A and B are shown apart, each in its own frame.
Chain A
Amino acid sequence: MSLIEIKDLHVSVDGKEILKGIDLNMDGGEVHAIMGPNGTGKSTLSYVLAGRDGYEITQGSVLFNGKNLLEMEADERARAGVFLAFQYPMEIPGVATSTFLKTALNAKRREQGLEEIDAMEFLNLIKSKTKELEIPYEMIKRPLNVGFSGGEKKRAEVLQMSLLEPRFAVLDETDSGLDIDALKVVSDGVNNLRSPDRTFLVITHYQRLLSYIVPDHVHVLVGGRIVKSGDKTLAELLEAEGYARFEESEAA
């Protein structure tokens, strides 16, 4: 049994079908990459997996660790270990990043039957994580994502991921907005989290990210369907040739 089993998933928004039958199995320890043109449903897939409202699942199923994921509320999924690094992270005015992180961490701990994290312990944890991701410590005192630069927001997403230690993480264009050095730091952060019981789904437009976070599988999503799957060399091919040939086959 795979950790995540997506079967024939059809999803509509406002009556318009966006995902038209996705099949995808992901095992523990694997990194899967999804590439595809703008507007083909990559973020839609990530939102559906994370449990956002407003998507109508017309057909298909998703099992997470053998359980019906689609039946669970967004917060339940999160506490069960599903994490989404957002393409566009939200601003939460007035809420210090550290407060937000602590609330999230405690929600997870409560689920596990643990006490709230001790203030000192939290401080040390956050210090080591921010250092690893080269995030200035001052930043976590600021309201979450408010006034953060594009790249800072993406780093803050990875910081949250590394703190919450999910079992299944979806990274939606986490590389966009990152400068060359930051891309390396963030990729190292992700690579450090790779482990046999953790699975990543990495959505990206650029092969560059995948040269740092080397995927086990690469899928091409066009028109709401996975039209091709392969190994990391598929990403290189796409980088060189674009999506033209897949779009043709899609149209046919």
Chain B
Amino acid sequence: MAATQQTVDAVRDVEKYKYGWETNIDSDMAPKGLSEDIVRFISAKKEEPEWMLEWRLKAYRLWLTQQDQEPDWAKLDYPKIDYQDSYYYAAPNLGDGPKSLDEVDPKLLETYDKLGIPLREQEMLAGVAVDAVFDSVSVATTYKKKLNELGVIFCSMSEAIKEHPELVKKYLGSVVPYSDNFFATLNCAVFTDGSFVYVPKGLRCPMELSTYFRINEKNTGQFERTLIIADEGSYVSYLEGCTAPQRDENQLHAAVVELVVLDDAEIKYSTVQNWYPGDEDGKGGIYNFVTKRAACRGKNSKVMWTQVETGSAITWKYPSCILQGDNSSGEFYSVAITNNRQQADTGTKMIHLGKNTRSKIIAKGISAGRSNSTYRGLVRIQPKAEGARNFTQCDSLLIGNQCGAHTVPYIESRNPTAQTEHEATTSKISDEQMFYCQQRGMNPEEAISLIVNGFCKEVLQTLPMEFAVEAQKLVGISLEGSVG
């Protein structure tokens, strides 16, 4: 049995006893389906102010009118989603998890070990009850205290709505408006939680902000809403997700991430996504429809998106940059690995509005098994973007001959002084390369992992150090079973 499959099975088993609420329905769970009442229920549960409810309802009403307009332009093939057959609210059930790692499926722990995840983090990931993990609680607390002293706000979105309404009102929906697209509109109506970050003027945030430390706000995965604001001259690096397999029994995920970057500020946003991809036939995997967008509002502002996508059955995701401020720059580094029946349609949009704006796109797609991967990118240079530059490189690597890789670049330049460059390659791991590595003693899986990591190097090296090491291992693990 392939290790990926083992993980998946392990994850399922763990889930079975982790979530007690299927047999134990109480008022912390809304009934199936989506309606205005459900939207009101969510807002009330979260004790939201009136303006927030109004915003949700506005989105919901718009979504209702578009129900039959789910985007279908992506190269993705999945059965029609029944939005009335889903749950939209379930409060996190913290007390019911395993009490210690001894109660967690050893197969899951084995995967964590392979990834080199420290024990404490394993406990968090496996959902060990928080009160049993004294260490991690204190780590998280010290961490939050330090951030507070610096003036950084890092909290859950629900908390921000209550504690920092002026910031939320000003920026929420300012990058991805509620009317942006089908999935974003849905997210506005029913989002449950997510992260909120504000970095004050002139501060270079000395720590990586990581979702690991939001342990009190877990199980927010289904309709996540994240907003990060980097005020003038500030810098922050944010890490989303983790390399460990993510469990979730909700098939439909539609997250929205908004980044606001003011004058001379910089945000580095790194994601590792390893959600359940479904079984070998693609059954049961997560559908991940994400809208991620950064607005480089100020002069010299800078955004860097890095993503390593290995999970999900369906991935629909195009982290984008609106380069509004003069001299602002956007970079997008992506590794998308698909195996078995996975499908990914992912890429980026770089919209050049300001003078001398720069963008760089490095996208690496690896397809194995019977999977399909599409890079879809748009570079648009508006008339006022004097001297804008773009460099795009898309490389696809195929493993075996039943998978597919597609590259769909759109370049629209409306300013004659702009320069764009595009390079694309498609290659296969050759038998000769495999033999060469094996002749040096590496087994086929090690050889593939090494070659693929080499292929992705430019992207992986943009990740923060520790994350990069984990991501390298993940690359190998997600391709296990793709040879021989």
Q: A90-B432, A90-B433, A94-B457 are in contact. Are A74 and B450 (CB under 8 A)?
A: no
Residues in A with CB closer than 8 Å to B458 are 94
Residues in B with CB closer than 8 Å to A75 are 438-439, 441-444, 447
Q: Which of A83, A89, A103 contacts B450 (CB 8 A)?
A: A103
Q: A52-B435, A92-B450, A95-B451 are in contact. Are A78 and B441 (CB under 8 A)?
A: yes
Are A95's CB and B450's CB within 8 A?
Answer: yes
Q: Please, what's the 1-or-0 string for B435-462, where 1 marks a CB less than 8 Å from any CB in chain A?
A: 1111111111011001101111110000
Interface residues in B174-226 by Cβ distance below 8 A to A read: none
Q: Nearest chain-B residue to A81 (Cβ)?
A: B441
B77 at the A interface (CB under 8 A):
no
* Bound-complex Cα distance A103 to B451 (A): 12
Q: A92-B450, A93-B454, A143-B454 are in contact. Are A53 and B442 (CB under 8 A)?
A: no
Residues in A with CB closer than 8 Å to B454 are 92-95, 143
Are B456's CB and A92's CB within 8 A?
Answer: no
How far, in Å, is B376 (CB) from chain A's closest CB?
24
Are A103's CB and B442's CB within 8 A?
Answer: yes
Q: A74-B435, A89-B436, A90-B432 are in contact. Are A95 and B453 (CB under 8 A)?
A: yes
A84 at the B interface (CB under 8 A):
yes
Q: Which of A53, A90, A164 contacts B441 (CB 8 A)?
A: A164
A221 at the B interface (CB under 8 A):
no
Q: Which of B433, B440, B444, B451 contacts A78 (CB 8 A)?
A: B440
Residues in B with CB closer than 8 Å to A107 are 440-443, 446
How far, in Å, is B166 (CB) from chain A's closest CB?
47
Are B455's CB and A94's CB within 8 A?
Answer: yes
B431 at the A interface (CB under 8 A):
yes
Residues in A with CB closer than 8 Å to B435 are 50, 52-53, 74
* Bound-complex Cα distance A54 to B432 (A): 11
Name the residue in B433, B441, B456 with the highest tally of chain A Cβ atoms < 10 Å from its Cβ.
B441
Residues in B with CB closer than 8 Å to A93 are 454-455
* Bound-complex Cα distance A178 to B446 (A): 31
How far, in Å, is A97 (CB) from chain B's closest CB?
11
How far, in Å, is A180 (CB) from chain B's closest CB?
28
Residues in A with CB closer than 8 Å to B447 are 75
A234 at the B interface (CB under 8 A):
no
How far, in Å, is B360 (CB) from chain A's closest CB?
18
Interface residues in A80-112 by Cβ distance below 8 A to B read: 83-84, 86, 89-90, 92-95, 99-100, 103-104, 107-108, 111
How far, in Å, is A166 (CB) from chain B's closest CB?
10
A216 at the B interface (CB under 8 A):
no
* Bound-complex Cα distance A172 to B103 (A): 56
Count of chain A to chain B residue pairs whose CB atoms are closer than 8 Å in the complex? 75
Q: Nearest chain-B residue to A74 (Cβ)?
A: B438
Residues in A with CB closer than 8 Å to B432 are 90
A73 at the B interface (CB under 8 A):
yes
* Bound-complex Cα distance A90 to B451 (A): 12
Are A78's CB and B450's CB within 8 A?
Answer: no
Are B433's CB and A104's CB within 8 A?
Answer: no
Residues in B with CB closer than 8 Å to A95 are 450-451, 453-454, 457
* Bound-complex Cα distance A83 to B440 (A): 7
A232 at the B interface (CB under 8 A):
no
Residues in A with CB closer than 8 Å to B437 are 92, 104
Are B439's CB and A53's CB within 8 A?
Answer: no
Residues in B with CB closer than 8 Å to A208 are none
Q: Nearest chain-A residue to B484 (Cβ)?
A: A73
Q: Please, what's the 1-or-0 string for B454-481, where 1 marks a CB less than 8 Å from any CB in chain A?
A: 1111100000000000000000000000
A187 at the B interface (CB under 8 A):
no
A198 at the B interface (CB under 8 A):
no
Q: A90-B432, A94-B457 are in contact. Are A104 and B440 (CB under 8 A)?
A: yes
Residues in B with CB closer than 8 Å to A73 are 438
Q: A53-B435, A86-B436, A89-B436 are in contact. Are A94 and B441 (CB under 8 A)?
A: no
* Bound-complex Cα distance A207 to B465 (A): 51
Interface residues in B401-453 by Cβ distance below 8 A to A read: 430-433, 435-444, 446-447, 450-451, 453
Residues in B with CB closer than 8 Å to A50 are 435, 439
* Bound-complex Cα distance A164 to B442 (A): 12
Residues in B with CB closer than 8 Å to A89 are 436
Residues in A with CB closer than 8 Å to B441 are 75, 78-79, 104, 107-108, 111, 164
How far, in Å, is A183 (CB) from chain B's closest CB?
24
How far, in Å, is B455 (CB) from chain A's closest CB?
6
A174 at the B interface (CB under 8 A):
no
* Bound-complex Cα distance A143 to B435 (A): 18
How far, in Å, is A88 (CB) from chain B's closest CB?
9
Q: Which residues of A contact B (CB under 8 A)?
A: 50-54, 73-75, 78-79, 83-84, 86, 89-90, 92-95, 99-100, 103-104, 107-108, 111, 143, 160, 164
Q: What are the 7 A-B residue pairs with the smallest beta carbon separation, nearest first?
A: A94-B454, A95-B454, A107-B441, A104-B440, A90-B436, A94-B457, A78-B441
* A-B residue pairs in contact (CB < 8 Å), sample of 28: A50-B435, A50-B439, A52-B435, A53-B435, A73-B438, A74-B438, A74-B439, A75-B438, A75-B444, A78-B441, A86-B436, A89-B436, A90-B430, A90-B432, A90-B433, A90-B436, A92-B437, A92-B450, A94-B454, A94-B458, A95-B450, A95-B453, A100-B440, A103-B446, A107-B441, A107-B442, A107-B443, A107-B446
